[in-house]
Amino acid sequence: MKIRIVEVGPRDGLQNEARNVATNDKIELIRRLIDCGHRTVEATSFVSPQWVPQLADAADVMSALTAPAGVALPVLVPNFKGYERARAAGAKEVAVFTAASEAFNRKNTNAGIDESLARFAPILEAARADDVRVRGYVSTVLGCPYQGQVPNSEVVRVARALYAMGAYEISLGDTIGVGTPEKARQMLMAVASEIPMGALAVHFHDTYGMAVANILRCLDAGVRVIDAAVGGLGGCPYAKGASGNVATEDVVYLLDGLGIEHGIDFDRLVATGQWISERLGRANASKVGKARSGGVLDSSLAVRHVHKPD
């Protein structure tokens, strides 16, 4: 069994940082993540710079990077204008995003769910002609900060719409990190009853510390693509109080413990998480990263890490 990790640290991780992150640090982070063995690194966002000022340098970040063979550097786009900017900057893969909660989607994109789906139609059409791959996100799949409960039927409806439009993969996002394992499994299975499991990814935030447990249950249910952010970076500017993504280091440690292949160099990943945490002047939010970087754990007691980049 092999898992593909979609590293979202440079985008989901940095979009919420209050202090300005230097463009060169963003570029360096992406380069280091590629050197760790990542094959998919979500690099930045071509959203409105008024809405997310931290990623206003998206074009500069993209133009400084050349993806090595086999490495994808997708970028987030909210509308056709974002798609055009992304293409002009050389993006070959984009991600569109909407939500299973109407209230959240309005706060996040100033549009209802169906309106945002309608915005994506011309993007998908152009992407087909341009040979650009499109990933789709559904946010708030396990709860919404404005609406509360989100029915699985709505997650299924939105995921199905994105898949039918031509998104090759649908990432199911617990944007505010409120999910628990059994709820996560049921949500995943509901979506997988309509969309092949091979086209699904899970995207957990770790607000309540459940992300790794949720992932384990979803792995058992058959998912093979996991979104994660190095150093547990992140948060959504339109989901106040939500913490970072599940840390990539924690996911890799879990997978190594299970003997599941992932292609990431653990030591390099830990060093990258520590490096970016120091650059941002914040504590390393990865439990595994903290244990390994702070020297608090005798590494002979921990899982042996055998997976090196392909």
φ/ψ (deg, to 5) at 179: -70, 160
**Which residue number, 109 or 286, has a Cβ lying nearer to ligand HMG?**
109
How far apart are alpha carbons 288 and 115 in whole angstroms?
Answer: 41
Locus of tokens 């992407």: 127
Hey, what are 115's tokens?
């309106």
101 binds ligand HMG (CB under 6 A): no
Piece in contact with ligand HMG (CB under 6 A), picked from 30-38, 48-56, 258-266, 296-304: 48-56
* Nearest distance in Å: CB 48, ligand HMG: 3
261 DSSP assignment: B
The SS3 assignment for 51 reads coil
* Nearest distance in Å: CB 13, Mg ion: 9
How far apart are alpha carbons 306 and 144 in whole angstroms?
Answer: 39
**Which residue number, 53 or 259, has a Cβ lying nearer to ligand HMG?**
53
Cβ neighbour number for residue 50 with a 10 Å cutoff: 7
144 is catalytic: no
In the set 110, 153, 193, 299, which binds ligand HMG (CB under 6 A)? 110
238 binds ligand HMG (CB under 6 A): yes
12 binds Mg ion (CB under 5 A): yes
* Count of helix runs (H) and strand runs (E) in the chain: 11, 9
In the set 7, 46, 113, 123, which binds ligand HMG (CB under 6 A)? 46
In the set 81, 128, 240, 308, which binds ligand HMG (CB under 6 A)? 81
Task: State the catalytic residue, choosing from 36, 144, 218, 236.
Answer: 236
Helical spans, DSSP H, in the chain: 23-35, 58-63, 80-88, 102-109, 113-130, 152-165, 181-192, 211-221, 248-258, 266-280, 287-293
**Which residue number, 139 or 248, has a Cβ lying nearer to ligand HMG?**
139
Catalytic residues: 236
Footprint of ligand HMG on this chain (CB under 6 A)? Answer: 12, 15, 45-49, 51-52, 78-79, 81-82, 85, 97, 108-110, 137, 139, 173, 175, 203, 236-238
